[in-house]
Structure 1
C-alpha cells in the first residue's frame, strides 16, 4: 500500500515531535521509558513548581508531577515520582530545600530503611530547610537596624580621621607620614650603600668564602682522623698512669721508701749533711797535704791537723 505525501509528512512530524520530547527530557536527566512510582507529601505552603527535581544525596531520582491544595487538611499536597528501583521505608522524610538564588526550590528524599517499606501512593513526612535567601529575608529588619548604627559609627570615625589628618602639630598624622617617608629614604640610601660595598668587594667575599670552604673541609678531615685515632684508649691509659703516679706521690708524702725517707726522716738528713761536711774537710785536707795520703811521695808520716778557718 502506497502512502500519500501528506501521510508521510504527518508521520515525520509526529516522529519529530516525539523525538524532540524524548531528547528534551533526556537532556534534563529524565528517561521516559524508565518506570516510576508516585508518592505524596504535604507542606504548610507552596514554594515549589512542577518539574522541580527530586534528589537523593544530590543525585536526581525523579521530579514533581503535580501540586494541589488539600481542602481537608488545608495544606499543599505535592505528588512526585521516583524510579521504582529506589526502595525506602515509610519513615523516610521529604525535605524541601533551596536549590539556589535563581533555581528555586526542590525536594530531597532522606531515605530510611527502618520500618515498613513504602508503597506507591503513600504520603511521606515532610520538613523545610531554610536557605540563605530565607534567612536574609527573616533577618532583614535586624540587618537594617544594625546597618544604620554602623553608618553612624562610620561617620564618627571618618570625622575623627579627617581631624587627625588636618592636624598640623608635631603629633599630627602629616608630620608622622613625613617622618616615615624620611626614614624610608634613609633606609633606601643605606641599602644602596650596602649593595655598592658588596659589589666592590665581590672578589674578596668570594675568596673568603673559598677559604672558609677549605677550612671546613680540613676540619671535616681532622674530625674523621680524631674519630679513627682511638682517643678513648689513650685517655684510659693516661688515667691509669696518673692514678699510679698519685699512689707514688702519696707513698712519698707518707715517708715510705727511700725517697720518702729522704724527704721525711730528719735524722737521715742530718747524717747526710754531717757526711757531706766530713767529705768537704777530707777533700780540703787532701788538697793541703797530698803527701799524707800518698806514701809514695813521702816516707815520713805527717800528722793530721785541723785546717784553720779565717
Structure 2
C-alpha cells in the first residue's frame, strides 16, 4: 500500500506543529509530558519569574507555572508544579531565596512530613530568606551610620586634644609636661644620691643583712625550742598556781585560816599587841636588873630588891 505524497506532507505538517508547540512550552518552562498538578503560595512582593527554579535541597524538582497579583489581599500568588515522585505534607513551607550574587531568585520547598499529604491546589506557607547582597547592604547601612557617629566623636576628641595641647595656662598640657619633667629630674637626682649611698655602704649593708639573717636563724631556733619545751603545759600549770593563790588570798580576805584570823580578828590583834608590850617590859627589866633573873643559876641566893 502506497502512501500518497499529500498524506506524507500532511503527517509532516502535523508533526511539525506538534513539535513546535512542545518546544515552545518547554522553553517557557512547561513540560507537556509532566502532570499539571499545581500548588500555590503567596508573598508580599514579587521577585520571581516563570523561569525561576523550584528546588528541594538544591535539586530542581519543578517549575513556576504562573505569577499573579491578588487584588483582594494585595499579595503575589505563585503557582508551581513539581515532579509526581515528590511527596510532602501541607505543613511544608515554600522559601524564596537568592540563587546567586548577580541576582535571580528561586523557590525552595522545605519538606515536612507532619500533617496531611499536600494535594493539588493546596496553598502552602511561605517565607523569604535574605540573600548575601541584601544582608551586606543592611549591614553596611548600619556600619555607615555607626562610622559617621564615630568620625564625629573622633573629630570632637581631636579638637579637645588640640585645645589641651595648645593651652599655655597652668591647667594646660604643656605646663603639666614641664612639671612632670622637673619631677622626673628630681627623682633622677634622688635616685643617683641613693645609689651613691648604697655603693658607699655596700659592705655595711652586707653585714647588716648577714646579722639579720643570723638573728632570724636564732629566732627560728628559739621558736623551735619553745615549741619543743611544751609551753602549753607550763602555761597551764602557771594558771593553776595562780588560781590556787587567788583562792588562798580570797580565804585570807574572808578571815579564814590563821593568817586570815590574824589579819581580820581585832581581839587577837589586841592580845598580841598586849603580849608584845609585856615582853618589851620584861626585856627592859632584865636589862636593868639582871640579878633578879640570874639568881636562880647562882649557888648563892641573891635577894630580890625592889626598885
TM-score normalized with structure 2 length: 0.54
Partner of 1:262: 262
Cα 1:105–1:176 shift into 2, 3 Å: farther
Match of 2:224 among 209, 216, 221: 221
Unaligned runs of 5+ in 1: 1-38, 55-60
Distance 2:125 2:145 in 1: 38
Q: By how many angstroms is 1:174 displaced?
A: 2.5
- CA gap 1:209/1:250 in 2 versus in 1, 3 angstroms: closer
Match of 2:302, SS? coil
SS of aligned partner of 2:217: helix
Q: 1:90 to 1:225 in 2, by over 3 A?
A: farther
Distance 1:223 1:53 in 2: 91
Q: By how many angstroms is 1:263 displaced?
A: 0.9
1:30-87: per-residue Cα shift (whole Å, max 9, x none)? xxxxxxxxx9966544389989997xxxxxx444566647234645678899x98xx9
Deviation, structure 1 residue 286: 3.1
Offset at residue 258 of structure 1 (A): 1.8
Moved more, 239-248 or 140-149: 140-149
Going from structure 1 to structure 2, the CA distance change for 1:203 and 1:126 (only over 3 Å counts) comes to farther
Superposition pairs of residues 161-176 of structure 1, within 5 angstroms: 161-176=161-176
Count of paired positions: 256
**1:246 equivalent in structure 2:** 246
CA distance 1:280–1:130, shift in 2 (3 Å): same
In structure 2, the residue corresponding to 1:71 is in which secondary structure? Answer: strand
Q: What SS does the aligned partner of 1:177 have?
A: helix
Note if contact 1:255-1:263 (Cα within 8 Å) is conserved in structure 2: yes
TM-score (norm 1): 0.54
| Structure 1 match to 2:292 | 292
CA contact (8 A) 2:52 2:106 kept: no
Q: Deviations over 1:201-249 (max 9, x none)?
A: 88568647855863685477367537xx372x55555444444433332
What SS does structure 2 have at the residue aligned with 1:249?
helix
Task: Return the alpha-carbon distance in structure 2 between the equivalents of residues 214 and 100 of structure 1.
Answer: 82
Check whether the contact 1:70–1:77 (CA below 8 A) recurs between aligned residues. yes
**Structure 2 CA distance for partners of 1:52 and 1:305, relative to 1, 3 Å:** farther
| Cα distance in structure 2, aligned partners of 1:210 and 1:115 | 88
Q: Provide the C-alpha distance between the structure 1 equivalents of 2:108 and 2:218, rounded to a whole number of angstroms.
A: 75
From the superposition, tell whether residues 143 and 269 of structure 1 become closer, same or farther in structure 2 (CA, over 3 Å): closer
Q: Secondary structure of the equivalent of 2:125?
A: strand
Q: For 1:99 and 1:71, locate their aligned partners in 2 and report how far apart those are by CA, in whole Å.
A: 18
Q: Does 1:46 align with 2:54?
A: no
- In structure 1, the residue corresponding to 2:252 is in which secondary structure? helix
Q: Structure 1 residues 157, 125: CA separation in 2 closer, same or farther (over 3 Å shift)?
A: same
Query: Is the contact made by 2:168 and 2:175 (CA closer than 8 Å) also made in structure 1?
Result: yes
1:70 aligns with 2:66: yes
Partners of 1:97 and 1:106 within 8 A in 2: yes
CA distance in 1, matches of 2:104, 2:249: 105
Rg comparison, structure with higher value:
2
Structure-1 separation of matches of 2:304 and 2:260: 42
Query: Which residue number corresponds to residue 32 of structure 2?
Result: none
Is there any run of 5+ residues in structure 2 with no aligned partner, and where?
1-38, 70-75
